[in-house]
């Protein structure tokens, strides 16, 4: 029996197959597009994360950094505390026109950089061991006697006292330190402060 090929039915079959293939292609393409759309949407919906970088404080100079590291290491202070003390000393010294290493050296000798140090016999308080009754105007200017146990107020008062004594002595630091101590043993006291100043100067020079 001979087979007769119907060209029309063959063409219709081919068209159907092509239609099915095109449909499948469109479905697959739309699925890919949908996946891409979902991926993009998820990315856009995520909150933007701030960069995990630390912005250095503009007022912390290399000199303050190196001195605070040295002070923290030698006097067993947290780095944050050493940096606060050093920054306060530099600020106060700049305002008063005196050497910041002088301010830091006095604090080192007077209290070993202990902000809450109190001398029960004299009533001297804080980093620079300020006696409030002798400097009431300056102490009131920083918030009163309780403020002497805070870093910046105490250093501000101590630096102001030092600056006055330096001026009174015509720039003579040795004489000013004798006044600051205000008691016997000035020679030993001055020597200790001078040694600390020299050490801090060497640390700065090394930078």
Q: Are 161 and 130 in contact (CB under 8 A)?
A: yes
Q: Are 155 and 180 within one domain?
A: yes
Cα 175 to the chain's mean position, in Å?
36
- The whole-model pTM stands at 0.72
CA distance 39 to 31: 12
Q: Are 116 and 149 within one domain?
A: yes
Over the stretch 138-175, which tens digit does the pLDDT of each residue have? 999 999 999 999 999 999 999 999 999 999 999 999 99
Of the pLDDT bands very low, low, confident and very high (cuts 50, 70, 90), residue 7 is low
Q: Are 39 and 111 within one domain?
A: no
Average pLDDT of span 96-122: 97
Comparison of pLDDT for 77 and 28, the residue scoring more = 77
Calculate what percentage of the chain has a pLDDT beyond 70. Answer: 72
Q: Are 29 and 79 within one domain?
A: no
Q: Which pLDDT score, from 0 to 100, does residue 179 have?
A: 95
Q: Are 174 and 91 within one domain?
A: yes
pLDDT value at 181 more than 90: yes
Q: Are 88 and 154 within one domain?
A: yes
pLDDT value at 196 more than 60: yes
Over the stretch 65-91, which tens digit does the pLDDT of each residue have? 999 999 999 999 999 999 999 999 999
pLDDT value at 109 more than 80: yes
Calculate what percentage of the chain has a pLDDT beyond 90. Answer: 68
Q: Are 99 and 180 within one domain?
A: yes
CA distances from 27 to 33, 41, 57, 109 (A): 10, 21, 57, 83
Q: Are 79 and 28 within one domain?
A: no
Q: Are 16 and 111 within one domain?
A: no
CA distance 144 to 135: 11
Please indicate, yes or no, if residue 2 is contained in any of the structural domains: no
Q: Please count the other Cβ atoms lying within 10 Å of the Cβ belonging to residue 35.
A: 10
Which helix or strand (DSSP H or E) is residue 86 part of?
helix 79-96
Average pLDDT of span 37-55: 35
Number of domains in the chain: 2
The whole domain housing 149 covers 62-206
Q: Are 148 and 126 in contact (CB under 8 A)?
A: yes
The single residue listed with the structure tokens 């600020």 is 91
Q: Please count the other Cβ atoms lying within 10 Å of the Cβ belonging to residue 81.
A: 17
Q: Which pLDDT score, from 0 to 100, does residue 184 have?
A: 78
**What are the structure tokens assigned to 207, written together?**
């930078």
């Amino acid at each position: 029996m001979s087979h007769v090929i119907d060209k029309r039915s063959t063409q219709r079959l081919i068209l159907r197959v092509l239609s099915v293939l095109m449909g499948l292609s469109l479905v697959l393409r739309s699925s890919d597009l949908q996946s891409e759309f979902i991926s993009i949407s998820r990315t856009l919906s995520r909150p933007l994360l701030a960069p995990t970088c630390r912005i250095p404080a503009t007022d912390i100079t290399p000199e303050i950094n190196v001195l605070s590291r040295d002070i923290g290491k030698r006097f067993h202070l947290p780095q944050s505390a050493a940096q606060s003390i050093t920054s306060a000393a530099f600020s106060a010294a700049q305002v008063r026109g005196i050497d910041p290493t002088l301010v830091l050296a006095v604090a080192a000798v007077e209290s070993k950089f202990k902000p809450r140090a109190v001398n029960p016999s004299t009533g001297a308080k804080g980093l620079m061991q300020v006696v409030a009754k002798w400097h009431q105007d300056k102490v009131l200017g920083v918030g009163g006697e309780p403020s002497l146990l805070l870093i910046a107020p105490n250093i501000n008062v101590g630096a102001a006292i030092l600056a006055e004594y330096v001026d009174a002595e015509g720039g003579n630091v040795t004489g000013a330190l004798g006044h600051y101590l205000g008691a016997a043993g000035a020679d030993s006291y001055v020597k200790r402060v001078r040694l600390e100043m020299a050490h801090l100067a060497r640390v700065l020079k090394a930078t």
